[in-house]
Structure 1
């Protein structure tokens, strides 16, 4: 009888198991995102005052010693939220973003239509005493809120870090309050208070850096310059007691520095190798 020897382990062909593909996460910037931010703003109001005679409507030429122009700081904290969309093409990222901000920016200035013998700043007083300095205006301004709608474009210095420039429309609500004070012909003090708020449309430009923390979360640091233009901010009058009034014209600009965090919708992109 023939005997067939059993095959030894050494006689068997080796078996190879294919290793699983390596999963690599790709940093993708394309998609919708929302987020929040906080920071500080260094605002500036350049405000001019023109005086007029309420009886005739004619402008008043203030005498020497008057204060008709002032540039004052309007600094304060800011906080708000943003939303946008990015498109990534290679190392370039393009996008649109809109934000809305609460603002604590405010400032103050004082103006004077100086008294003079027979001068126009103290109607009815031909020879004002030394205690009468003229018709004064105490002005307060604040930026109540603002927002922007901007384009963004930038370059990825690494897959996770974006340097970008941005610019577009800006808008905001500026509140102006003032107290106009003077004296009557019999030296009785008189004053009037008034305020107004106006929503202004302007422009903004800036730059920033944003870095991915995870595929969905990122953090950014951003600077913006904002200009809301010149506008007629407030008109006050002591009439009919004293025939004098004041008109205020203001130009507001702002330097904004803020840090923020964004959440990008959509899951991570996985590449197999």
Structure 2
């Protein structure tokens, strides 16, 4: 019995000495009290939803003439350069950004809506034609650089489709058509909170040429019109960052 008690006491003493030595070693080498404090630093990585408003300026260049229905040969008669119209629109946007150091890359899709952007042609008080842009959507990407932790300067590019309604009252003609083209632009976005940001953005869109032809007006001769359209927009968008896969990324505080 005495031997057992002595052995037990010896083991307990050794364990106590080892624990004290370990604690002293951790303290001396910078243990728990010197561990870096971990905080959450705002990140641009994540999905975002946006809602905004903007203004647009539409420009149409029209080339009109006659063509031979049988051979397809055409002859330009008149050209109109710079028929333009302005208006306002609303926009909704969804996208995803990924931060790489001071750079941010992302993809987006947005839809612009409104029927206030109209281009009208009149002569001596009579309406000759009207072209109205009703809606538009763009899919594309952006690449930006962080001016500071909460401000992003970026450029963008994408593909755009838009619906235009064409009306020619004097000919009792109306139609709507889809124009497609490319978009480039840039902007500045700043974080208001960890979840909300506000951006101002400029875009330029160049659409492909759309051609409209009539049937024979006399004999085998018909009329045609080529329309080249470009649109410039400026928009202000409030975005909400949705952390679908977790919160902010923790980084050591230096």
TM category (shorter chain) comes to 0.7 to 0.9
TM-score by length of 2: 0.73
The one of 147, 150, 170 aligned to 2:140: 150
Identify the residue that residue 256 of structure 1 maps to in structure 2.
233
Q: Does 1:179 align with 2:190?
A: no
Identify the residue that residue 42 of structure 1 maps to in structure 2.
57
| Structure with the bigger percentage of helix | 2
- Alignment check: 8 A CA contact 2:120 2:127 kept: no
Pair 1:53–1:91, CA change in 2 (3 A): closer
1: CA distance between counterparts of 2:35 and 2:72?
88
2: CA distance between counterparts of 1:253 and 1:194?
23
1: CA distance between counterparts of 2:70 and 2:127?
20
Size of the aligned set, in residue pairs, is 215
TM-score by length of 1: 0.69
2: CA distance between counterparts of 1:82 and 1:99?
4
Could you list the per-position Cα deviations for residues 148-170 of structure 1 after superposition, in whole angstroms to 9, with x for gaps in the alignment?
Answer: 11111000010000000000111
Moved more, 83-92 or 170-179: 170-179
Deviation at 1:244, TM superposition (A): 7.6
Q: Does 1:213 align with 2:188?
A: no
The one of 75, 83, 86 aligned to 1:72: 83
Pair 1:22–1:200, CA change in 2 (3 A): same
Could you list the per-position Cα deviations for residues 94-144 of structure 1 after superposition, in whole angstroms to 9, with x for gaps in the alignment?
Answer: 000110101421112258xxxxxxxxxxxxxxxxxxxxxxxx991211111
Tell me how large the CA RMSD over aligned residues is: 3.3
Could you list the per-position Cα deviations for residues 182-209 of structure 1 after superposition, in whole angstroms to 9, with x for gaps in the alignment?
Answer: xxxxxxxxxx311111112210000000
Q: Could you list the runs of 5+ residues in structure 1 that have no partner in the other structure? A: 1-17, 112-135, 181-191
